Structure 1
Amino acid sequence: MLGRAEEQELIASFLDQAASSGRALVIIGEPGIGKSTLLDAAADMASAACRRVLRAEGVEFEAESAFSGLNQALLPLAGEIDGPPLATALDLSHAPGPAPDLMAVAAATLSLVRQAAAVLVVDDLQWLDRSSAAVLSFVARRLSGSQAGFLGAARSETAGHFDYGNLTTHELARLDNEAAGELLRARYPLLAPRVRTRLMAEAQGNPLALLELAGSLRGRQAYPRVMDRAAHPPLRRVQSLYAARVADLPPRTRTLLLLAVLDGTGDLDVLRTASGDTELLSLAPAEQANLVQIGEGAPRLVFRHPLIRTGIMAASTARERRQSRLALAEALTDRPDRRAWHLAEAATGPDEVIATLLESVADGTLRRGDALAATAVLRRAAELSPSSADRARRLSRAAYAERFAGDRRDLGRLLSEARRADPASGAALEAAVAAAYLLLTEQGDIDSAFHHLISAINASDSTGGVLADALQTLLYICWFGGRPELWKQLDAVLDRAGPGLPETLVRCKDFYADPARACADSLAWLDAEIDVLCDTSDPADVIRIVDSAIFLDRLGGCRQALWQIVNEGRVGSGSTSTHTALIALSIDAFFSGQWAQADELLGELLSLSRVLGYRMVWPAQHVQALLAAARGDFERAWTLTDEIAGWAESRGMHQARWYGRHARTLAALGEGDFEYAFLQASVISEPGVFAPYVPLALWAAMDLVEAAVYTNRHVEAAAHVGAMLETGIAELSPRLALTVKASAAMAAPDDRAWPLFEQALALPGADRWPFDLARVNLAYGARLRRAQSRAKAREHLSAALDTFHWLGAHPWAARAGNEIRATGRTTSRGKAPSAQLTPQEHQIATLAAAGLTNKEIGERLKLSHRTVSSHLHRIYPKLGITTRSALSAVLQAPPTQA
């Protein structure tokens, strides 16, 4: 600890804060710099303060095993783990049950650590298995407000699965010359000054290099010249010293050390069984050489430094490693997962027995909720498969597991390898699900995905989870396609499947296909499912319910469960569930008025899409286009909707086409182009019709009526209101009740409109949708103003204006301001209409008002005529006008005080 006064203060502060309010800290640095020493000191200090200390470490050569690091850490608390999901994930219970999702395991671990008020100390974070790294990353970020702490250490140059990017980190620097000299004088006081100087130059401030290089002198005062640092880095010299020290050991000792490296757990019982050395007497030379030590308390073998393990592996032969793997497999008959992996690593060629064992391990790993680990095991099983059919089947299963984990980056390659091994493998249901998922997310190829999957379902005799997943995937394809012929074929498949299908699948199918006609019984079922959504272990089940809730305005009740999925995705590598959760949360944020949060979520979603290779991003573009339209950034809204249309039209994806039209409708309403708004809304839903398979008709209903009223299509407006009432959509949610009442008011004559507007605004919970509510206030105020009820008009128009300003909905704010001015008063902000324009916009508007053409304006301002046109399209809604001829009057209008 010499030269580490700052770090000792840091550790003491960390423990104090952890005990009072929770804290996480990660020490990073090069090998040998002293990270483990600091962790040991912290653990000793915590134990001395009567804190519970949980310890774990990543091991470079450990057998592939899900949650192995987490198992180490929570072993002292095993008696306090009384059921799933932790008991399932850690294999503490063999009781049957659903596979826990990573989020559930992470949340249970966090609860356990917080309850124990423990200090969790984890070394070599870079070598943790993927599932443990994800869980511990999650825990480390959420200890605030507890009395627990997380202290980890990681190599700065080695990547791993643990993400400490947002955690507090401290980089451990090399020792300065003063501290290095003091360390050498303390440990090797008889060193001559010239030798000490050369050692310090050679070690470059690395404590491990200092001590090991000094120890290698063994009393000799002669020391070779300082070697070239670039060619002979100190840690490479240290590793060579370890390798030489290992080579000097007796063969029996080297065998024990190799077994210990390959086992990775330090379990002495495993070493005794695998080596046949019941007393482990052969370890004594390694202890004497200061390479290993036997821990006190619960005895286990500990290597003094990970570089020793690396040196042992480098000094061993392939034959020695194979023999050691086989010996470990014989010793691990009670741990089939580790036994199978050792056998697989020892295999010299295809071996069906080992491949079968690995496949069984993969099944267990999937049940424990680690799909990515299962994928790795199935890949190895495929490599060891003697027959091409078995190889193809296991590769297909690996693809299915990878798709189940939400990762599609290697999915195509796995499917291609499976087809090369056996061209018939693509007909297998698991392969068909993975292939359909790939076709949908990468290419948007609705027809190919649908026909490939439905053929596999019809030809398969599979039952249970794989069939349910296949049918759910087919349901998603039908939803994206939006075509009646797809839905009819799905109905036929479901009828043939019989009554044994999961209730969630059957209910969700009805919600996805025709939410407008959801019955009271179905709504009650959905509300009950939402109430327990946070207790649902499988994120895919959560997403099925969320997708059912979107068009029925129930996302508010799903937020907590959705954030859990997003947080899990942030901890891990992201997944299909994370992708969908971000979409749902951004939609909820738009409708609830949290537009800045919607921007952040959409940015994260598009970044995740790029990482995972998702090309079908139009659902995110739809929300972006809505935000752009509502804010008055019409050029961006049109660009986004053009991109959505380009994706949809060539692929026969009707749902995307409707989404693009929906955003165009809002943009046209914002610009005051009610004719175009009506035409776009009519594509989604013909006036007077709520067709099945078009759920977006619920969102576009009020838009269509508003556009119809402003274009004097009163018959069409009344017909659509009649369809709303006949379908009963007001009973589906408070927001849709607001939509129906407001639409009815817009379509009604004045004497019947006033009570309908009042009823709409008085609906309980209407303020949960501020943009919709403000639009209703605007419509009501405008009607009152035209009816010469100016005082009451100002009341509603001012309420609308305040909300639009708060949201940043500039075109609607401009319209509300103009309506207020038309009552004879200024807006509450007391600004002239032109005050909303930027200096360049004001210049363009002034020139246009003076009668100059777009080309003439462009020549004067050094702009293209298209740029001038785009600016004018943004200027009109800000000023609350729709024509060029109105510019002059609005620009000259001064603010008048109320």
Structure 2
Amino acid sequence: MASAALTPPALIGRSAELAFLDRHFDTDLASGAALMLTGEPGVGKSALLDAAAVRTAAAGFQVLRISGCPFQRGVGFSALNQLLQPLADGIPALPARQAETLQAVRGLSEEQPTELLAIANAVHALLALTAAEDGPVALIVDDVAWVDRSSATVLGTLARSLRVGPITVLGASRTGDESFLSSIGITEYEVQPLDDVAANELVSERFPAMTARVRRRLVAEARGNPLALLELPVPLNSLQQTERGTLPAALPLTERLKGIFSTRVAALPDATRKLLLLAVLDGSGELHILQRALGAPDGLAGLSPAERAGLVQVRGGTGRLEFRHPLTRSAVMELSTSEERRWAHRALAAEFPEGSEHRARHLADAAVGPDDQVAALLHEVAYSTLRRGDAVGAISTLLRASELSGSGTAKARRLAEAACLGANITGDLRNVRALLDNAGHADPTGLGSLAAATAAASELLNGEGDVDTAHRLLLGAINTHVWPEDGETVEDIFREALNTLLLVCFYGGRPELWRSFEEVVRRRRPPTSRRLLPLILGTFADPAYGALPFLDRLDHLISGLHQQTDPVRVFGLGLSASYTDRLPGCRSALRRVVDDGRDGGAVALAIQAQFLLANDAYASGQWDELLEVTAEGLGWCETHDYRLAASTGHFQRGLVAAARGDAATAREIADRLVSWGNPRGLGALRVYAAQIRALSALGGADFDAAHRLLRALGTPGEVPHFAPQALWPLLDFTEAAARTDRHEESAAHVAAIRKSDIPSISPRLAMVTDAAEAMSVPDFIDHDLFEAAIATPGAERWPFDWARICLAYGERLRRAKAGGAARVHLDAALGTFERLGAAPWSARAADELRASGIPVRHLEPAGSELLARHTLLTPQERVAAQLAATGLTNKQIAARLFLSPRTVAAHLRSVFRKLNVTSRGGLRDALTGPVR
């Protein structure tokens, strides 16, 4: 008996089809049943037959396989012999006449086979005997249309005569093919192409290294055809599969796919194939372009044979030409010669105006050798492609322009620009050295160019973190750069040079580096009216002193980010927003940059966008999300060798570890940052490490250690220029100084902050400044400042900072014997800390509450109904509701919270609506949590 020796691979996206086949072979229902699978070539019919063979064998069927073959269609009974061979031992048990008939069919008798009806009866008898002795029989026939004529007649007769007995037939044939099962009225089941989800899963499983963008291209071309999905990647090299190499306009076909899609194209008249080639290379489907390119008024008549063959159609609504299957385009390309393709590109180029991107690309594809004019056109196209957000396409275009460059200088310049964009945008850091070496071979004198210097500086900075060498290299190239360069567009390269210098200065963390950057921006501004560099310099490099004049413009630009396609510009605005507390407005745009990186696009920018989103997640208390975001970003850093950029992700994870009380992880991260950053002069990493260690010390109430760490970063009473990180630990230093009785230092620090008008930058900075000033007062509780900080509009957007302020206020109130008011703020702090998972801070708040003489309550774990109810409320609503639940009147609550009774009433109305309660007794039920 024929049966599968090995289980075939699990079929993806075929659960419905397999369930249908299982029902067909149900032993209680399958007697006399026949079923035909139909579908387009390569859709997976044979795979389903293989799966059915395994499943039916496991269910107790005796599986018999027949496969039609086009080369044996003229050989009589060739298919029938595939059925008889495994049943040969049972033939002698048949009546003598039937046994002789089957032996004749097998060619083992001198007699000639008798009439076909007798043969069909003998086969039926043999199958019935087999079923009686060994169980039900499943006859599976693949490629039914290619079964030889005599076998087809016998099998057709057999299928029509299945009335009784456990014999079941399953066949498969292409849609529209005539076969012995086509006209006998049996059930047909059309196998559909895979949906997009299953198609992506199939390609991902078989080709895991392929980038998402390439995978989507293949899925779109294959249209769910499993054979095409598995065959299309085969001709692609590793660079093309990972989108480091250019994909052709029409994907190449393997021999198996050619056999499916090229046959009908090859049968078309030459004029029709010529017209289809123009349509493939044009890609727009516009008939008027094809007609003009042909240069004949009746040229479109050549479409008729292709339309009749079902290869193309003209849409009635749009009037555009469409290929019914994308792989037909590939077949057209496969069947054309190189000269035919060059002719088509030249003809199409003539239909587009001078300066057109389409014209430039067609001329480049038609070129057979160096052509400086076309190379220059392609160079401009590369940067228009970059500004549309397709950095990978821009680099591919630059590399093609370098191939067409006649002079070594032009070739080297374009190779260097490709290296620069690769290092700074697409994540091709590992390819930078090879591109620069090729540029050096093309023009040994050109390695001092701005593009080459920027690429080399990026390699140094992101690889070994050599800040000083990268700084010297960039400054020298920027200061000697001639603008414009040979009349070609290099504004984007100048922008990348300054962006790289910006990161050099940030990670270097030294004022003299920033001053050199400021001087460069002042003297070497690129000729464009849309400069972001002065804005970035003010808001990111020196926010304490430079942000305020730019905030209105920054807000305006952020409001338009939803329309922005240039990932470099999105990243620049994200930097500007990072220290001015405007990252929430950049979230969607930054996520688009990240998605582009996931798809194999601008990976280097996606890494930076990930860490900007992580900054936002930390400030907004989305710490679990931060850990997910940084895990992906750090994985990219490791894959693409971005060692310095990874330090920001480690810093963010270190902050969360410190805040949550994971002292060992926080210490390990801080030590790693210092050990790698100090030998390289990376001052930012030293600040990162100090902030992690100080936060860990504050959580554990080790205020002396926290003060020592933060005091080493600056002088109290001074807010240094070009120290953006100084805005983050503002609350940390003030608390550490105040809790170690260094009130003068704390007051001086707050005074310097107010003098530089830092609170005007954002509500968060105003909130922490008020709180810091209140903390720095040694002799009394400044209720006004504490209450102003706690009541900051939108304070819930910064839960960790807000809870720390509530804790500080509650601590002072308790020590002043104002236990009732203290409990309100301490309880609010405790609830927030617990939701964040900030264990050491929760412990501090809980200790204070216990000292106030009340049982400590806490919220149930995240995801509970109680937590969901609490998160509906703003911080002030939550505090007012908790007091109201104890039975206090609005007037009493107002006195406790230093609010007006009218404000308390407004808060409670909002609470009642959000919690869907109608009484203060209902508040108790809605807010009560288990006592710890």
Distance 1:361 1:497, change over 3 A: closer
For residues 73-109 of structure 1, what are the alpha-carbon distances to aligned partners after superposition, in whole Å with 9 as ceiling and x for unaligned? xxxxxxxxxxxxxxxxxxxxxxxxxxxxxxxxxxxxx
Structure 1 residues not aligned, in runs of 5+? 11-28, 36-175, 216-228, 832-895
CA distance in 2, matches of 1:257, 1:542: 41
In structure 2, the residue matched to 1:207 is: 174
Deviation larger for 296-305 or 682-691: 296-305
Q: Which amino acid aligns with 1:674?
A: F
Displacement of 1:634 after TM fit?
Answer: 1.1
CA distance in 2, matches of 1:191, 1:556: 70
In structure 1, the residue matched to 2:797 is: 768
Q: Which amino acid aligns with 1:780?
A: Y
* Aligned 8 A contact 2:457 2:474 in 1: yes
In structure 1, the residue matched to 2:763 is: 734
Secondary structure at the counterpart of residue 397 of structure 2:
helix
Is 1:597 aligned with 2:625? yes
For residues 253-309 of structure 1, what are the alpha-carbon distances to aligned partners after superposition, in whole Å with 9 as ceiling and x for unaligned? 655555555555555555555556653499489549937455363666665655555
Distance 1:730 1:343, change over 3 A: closer
Q: How does 1:301-320 map to 2 (within 5 A)?
A: 305=325, 309-320=329-340
Secondary structure at the counterpart of residue 622 of structure 1:
helix
Distance 1:240 1:784, change over 3 A: closer
Displacement of 1:439 after TM fit?
Answer: 3.2
CA distance in 1, matches of 2:851, 2:625: 35
CA distance in 2, matches of 1:239, 1:733: 63
In structure 1, the residue matched to 2:314 is: 295
In structure 2, the residue matched to 1:239 is: 258
CA distance in 1, matches of 2:44, 2:731: 66
* Aligned 8 A contact 1:340 1:358 in 2: yes
CA distance in 1, matches of 2:569, 2:427: 18
Distance 1:504 1:306, change over 3 A: closer
Is 1:799 aligned with 2:828? yes
Distance 1:722 1:310, change over 3 A: closer
Is 1:433 aligned with 2:458? no
Is 1:682 aligned with 2:711? yes
* Aligned 8 A contact 1:33 1:208 in 2: no
Say which of 816, 824, 828 aligns to 2:845.
816
Q: Which amino acid aligns with 1:423?
A: P
Displacement of 1:660 after TM fit?
Answer: 1.7
CA distance in 1, matches of 2:304, 2:586: 61
In structure 2, the residue matched to 1:545 is: 573
Q: How does 1:357-372 map to 2 (within 5 A)?
A: 357-366=377-386, 368-372=388-392
Distance 1:213 1:544, change over 3 A: farther
Q: How does 1:546-585 map to 2 (within 5 A)?
A: 546-567=574-595, 569-570=597-598, 573-585=601-613
Distance 1:555 1:322, change over 3 A: closer
For residues 839-871 of structure 1, what are the alpha-carbon distances to aligned partners after superposition, in whole Å with 9 as ceiling and x for unaligned? xxxxxxxxxxxxxxxxxxxxxxxxxxxxxxxxx
Say which of 22, 29, 33 aligns to 2:43.
33
Q: How does 1:458-537 map to 2 (within 5 A)?
A: 458-462=479-483, 466-497=493-524, 504-518=532-546, 520-536=548-564
In structure 2, the residue matched to 1:877 is: none
In structure 1, the residue matched to 2:109 is: none
Displacement of 1:483 after TM fit?
Answer: 0.9
* Aligned 8 A contact 2:392 2:601 in 1: no
Is 1:392 aligned with 2:421? no
Say which of 265, 276, 279 aligns to 2:298.
279
In structure 2, the residue matched to 1:352 is: 372
Distance 1:348 1:760, change over 3 A: closer
CA distance in 1, matches of 2:391, 2:269: 43
For residues 404-458 of structure 1, what are the alpha-carbon distances to aligned partners after superposition, in whole Å with 9 as ceiling and x for unaligned? 7544354443333222211333332233334433433333322222222211111
For residues 699-739 of structure 1, what are the alpha-carbon distances to aligned partners after superposition, in whole Å with 9 as ceiling and x for unaligned? 21221222233334344334333433444433333322332
CA distance in 2, matches of 1:386, 1:347: 12
CA distance in 1, matches of 2:579, 2:838: 23
In structure 2, the residue matched to 1:620 is: 649
CA distance in 1, matches of 2:156, 2:302: 33
* Aligned 8 A contact 2:494 2:526 in 1: no
Q: Which amino acid aligns with 1:454?
A: L
For residues 344-369 of structure 1, what are the alpha-carbon distances to aligned partners after superposition, in whole Å with 9 as ceiling and x for unaligned? 34444333343234334435434555
* Aligned 8 A contact 2:402 2:412 in 1: yes
Q: Which amino acid aligns with 2:390?
A: D
Deviation larger for 297-306 or 481-490: 297-306
Distance 1:815 1:348, change over 3 A: same
Is 1:790 aligned with 2:819? yes
Is 1:668 aligned with 2:678? no
CA distance in 2, matches of 1:5, 1:277: 52
CA distance in 1, matches of 2:291, 2:842: 79
CA distance in 2, matches of 1:338, 1:897: 71
In structure 2, the residue matched to 1:116 is: none
CA distance in 1, matches of 2:583, 2:273: 61
Distance 1:195 1:450, change over 3 A: farther
Structure 2 residues not aligned, in runs of 5+? 1-13, 21-38, 46-137, 160-169, 183-226, 232-252, 485-490, 861-929
Deviation larger for 764-773 or 690-699: 764-773
* Aligned 8 A contact 1:184 1:211 in 2: no
Distance 1:477 1:196, change over 3 A: farther
* Aligned 8 A contact 1:290 1:304 in 2: no
Secondary structure at the counterpart of residue 427 of structure 1:
coil
CA distance in 1, matches of 2:313, 2:557: 53
Displacement of 1:321 after TM fit?
Answer: 4.5
* Aligned 8 A contact 1:658 1:696 in 2: yes
* Aligned 8 A contact 2:140 2:171 in 1: no
* Aligned 8 A contact 2:371 2:406 in 1: yes
Q: Which amino acid aligns with 1:379?
A: L
* Aligned 8 A contact 1:704 1:717 in 2: yes
Q: Which amino acid aligns with 2:476?
A: S
* Aligned 8 A contact 2:593 2:602 in 1: no
* Aligned 8 A contact 1:181 1:196 in 2: no
CA distance in 2, matches of 1:415, 1:483: 30
CA distance in 2, matches of 1:459, 1:569: 33
Q: How does 1:696-711 map to 2 (within 5 A)?
A: 696-711=725-740
In structure 2, the residue matched to 1:780 is: 809
CA distance in 2, matches of 1:376, 1:210: 44
How many residues get paired?
Answer: 649
Deviation larger for 242-251 or 519-528: 242-251
For residues 648-696 of structure 1, what are the alpha-carbon distances to aligned partners after superposition, in whole Å with 9 as ceiling and x for unaligned? 2122111222122111110111233322211211122233322222222
Displacement of 1:632 after TM fit?
Answer: 0.9
**Greater radius of gyration (CA):** 2
* Aligned 8 A contact 2:145 2:179 in 1: no
Say which of 445, 452, 462 aligns to 2:466.
445
CA distance in 2, matches of 1:397, 1:799: 55
Distance 1:785 1:499, change over 3 A: same
Query: What is the identity percentage for the equivalent residue pairs of Structure 1 and Structure 2?
Result: 40
Q: Over aligned residue pairs, what C-alpha RMSD do you find? A: 4.6
Q: Return the TM-score normalized by structure 2.
A: 0.61
CA distance in 1, matches of 2:847, 2:658: 19
* Aligned 8 A contact 2:426 2:603 in 1: yes
Displacement of 1:627 after TM fit?
Answer: 0.8
* Aligned 8 A contact 1:408 1:613 in 2: no
Q: Which amino acid aligns with 1:295?
A: V
In structure 2, the residue matched to 1:642 is: 671
Distance 1:560 1:712, change over 3 A: same
CA distance in 2, matches of 1:572, 1:480: 27
Distance 1:437 1:192, change over 3 A: farther
Q: Which amino acid aligns with 2:534?
A: V
